[in-house]
């Protein structure tokens, strides 16, 4: 796919305290580039305060608005846990480390992207951010909160599929993947619990955990709980998710 100029696609980043650095897996950038986009990294430079009443700390909305003015599309990437304060819950013992600056920026980006109908692809944590940004909630920890849940956090190579996912027929996700069942990788212990009405569930794992979401009323708002950026080189159908994002970000027009 060739778009000229290539759409600029923002990739959110994780933050490490010691040594201090921002980072994201290069597989995201390669997938965006292979799909015809121009990837840029979005470090969470902002306040470290927890969210007051589920709102982004002061200043992050303006920062997010300035970022989105320079982007054509957005990938909300995987990473650490989302602070349950964003959906009105206290932390459970199994909650992992949280990053208020990243949470705040990504919530502001997701909410503004929704309002502006900017194309967004959410991956793993990104799916969870999209759920919470629109008023939903999460399982803070599947093993302790969902009896009967299968294993979802695997210590395997990133490109190894570990469980099947059923995709809803007629969904955009099914159209892009070209099949109703896929085998996926899995590296999460949080998951969508209460899904906002604006988002439709399009994929489930055998235990009923949400694996795919999309917003039919938006140009492209789609999320998966697995990591297609690690799988597309072995299974090219997974690159279709990034191609669809880039195409929507480019206005749906291919250059000659």
Q: Catalytic residue at 124? A: yes
The number of distinct structural domains making up the chain is: 1
Query: Is residue 255, in this structure, part of any structural domain at all?
Result: no
Report whether 143 contacts 149 (CB < 8 A): yes
Overall average pLDDT of the 186-199 stretch: 94
For residue 157, is pLDDT > 90?
no
28 in any annotated domain? yes
User: Which of 124, 188, 189, 211 is labelled catalytic?
Assistant: 124
Residue bearing the bigger pLDDT, 245 or 50: 245
pLDDT at 256: 32
**pLDDT value, residue 50:** 57
Does the structure show a pLDDT above 60 at 46?
A: yes
Please report whether residue 1 resides in a domain.
no
Q: What is the mean pLDDT of residues 128-139?
A: 98
CB atoms within 10 A of CB 231: 24
Instruction: Let me know if residue 2 belongs to a domain.
Output: no
- 206 half-sphere exposure, CB direction, 13 A CA radius: 10
Q: Which of 78, 103, 99, 62 is nearest to 11 (CA)?
A: 78
Per the structure, the complete domain to which residue 200 belongs is given by: 8-249
Residue the block writes with tokens 């990053």: 99
Q: What distance in Å separates the CA atoms of residue 49 and residue 47, rounded to the nearest whole number?
A: 6
Alpha-carbon distance of 104 to 201, in angstroms, equals 25
pLDDT higher than 90, residue 237: yes
Residue 209 lies in a domain: yes
Percent of the chain with pLDDT over 70: 92
Question: Look-up: residue for tokens 């759409």?
Answer: 7
Residue with the bigger pLDDT between 187 and 82: it is 82
Q: What is the mean pLDDT of residues 212-230?
A: 97
CA distances (Å), origin 128, targets 6, 35, 113, 160: 28, 24, 15, 22
Averaged pLDDT for residues 138-164: 83
Instruction: Please provide the DSSP assignment of 56-95 as one string.
Output: PPTTHHHHHHHHHTT-SEEEE---SBPPGGGGT-PPPTT-
What's the mean per-residue pLDDT of the chain?
Answer: 90
| Percent composition of the chain: helix, strand, coil (DSSP 3-state, to 5) | 30, 20, 50
- The enclosing domain of 68 has a CATH number of 3.40.50.880
Q: Look up 189 and say whether it is catalytic.
A: no
Query: For the residues 222-231, what does the mean pLDDT come to?
Result: 96
Q: Please determine, for residue 10, whether its predicted confidence score (pLDDT) is greater than 50.
A: yes
Provide the whole-model pTM: 0.92
- Is 59 a residue whose pLDDT tops 80? no
Predicted confidence (pLDDT) at residue 254 exceeds the cutoff of 50: no
Asked if residue 254 belongs to a domain, the reply is no
Catalytic site includes residue 227: yes
User: Could you write out the DSSP letters of every residue in 160-202?
Assistant: ---EEEEE-TTSHHHHHHTSSEEEE--B-S-EESS--TTSEEE
Structure confidence at residue 58 (pLDDT): 61
Phi-psi domain of 111 (left: phi exceeds 0; alpha: psi -120 through 50; beta: other): alpha
* Predicted pLDDT of residue 89: 96
pLDDT in tens, 79-118: 999 999 999 999 999 999 999 989 999 999 999 999 999 9
């Amino acid at each position: 796919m060739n778009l000229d100029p290539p759409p600029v696609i923002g990739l959110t980043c994780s933050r490490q305290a010691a040594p201090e650095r921002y980072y994201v897996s290069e597989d995201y950038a390669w997938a965006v580039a292979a799909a015809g986009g121009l990837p840029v990294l979005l470090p969470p430079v902002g306040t470290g305060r927890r969210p007051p009443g589920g709102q982004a700390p002061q200043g992050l909305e303006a920062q997010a608005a300035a970022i989105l003015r320079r982007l054509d599309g957005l990938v909300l990437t995987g990473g650490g846990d989302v602070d349950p304060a964003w959906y009105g819950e206290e932390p459970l013992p199994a909650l992992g480390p949280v990053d208020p600056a990243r949470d705040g920026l990504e919530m502001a980006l997701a909410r503004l992207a929704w309002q502006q109908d900017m194309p967004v692809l959410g991956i793993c944590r990104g799916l969870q951010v999209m759920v919470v940004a629109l008023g939903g909630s999460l399982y803070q920890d599947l093993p302790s909160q969902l009896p009967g849940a299968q294993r979802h956090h695997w210590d395997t190579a990133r490109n190894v599929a570990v469980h099947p996912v059923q995709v809803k027929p007629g969904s955009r996700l099914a159209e892009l993947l070209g099949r109703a069942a896929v085998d996926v990788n899995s590296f999460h212990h949080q998951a969508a619990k209460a899904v906002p009405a604006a988002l439709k569930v399009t994929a489930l794992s055998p235990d009923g955990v949400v694996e795919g979401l999309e917003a039919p009323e938006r140009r492209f708002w789609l999320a998966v709980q697995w990591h297609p950026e690690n799988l597309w080189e072995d299974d090219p159908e997974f690159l279709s998710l990034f191609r669809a994002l880039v195409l929507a970000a480019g206005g749906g027009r291919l250059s000659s």
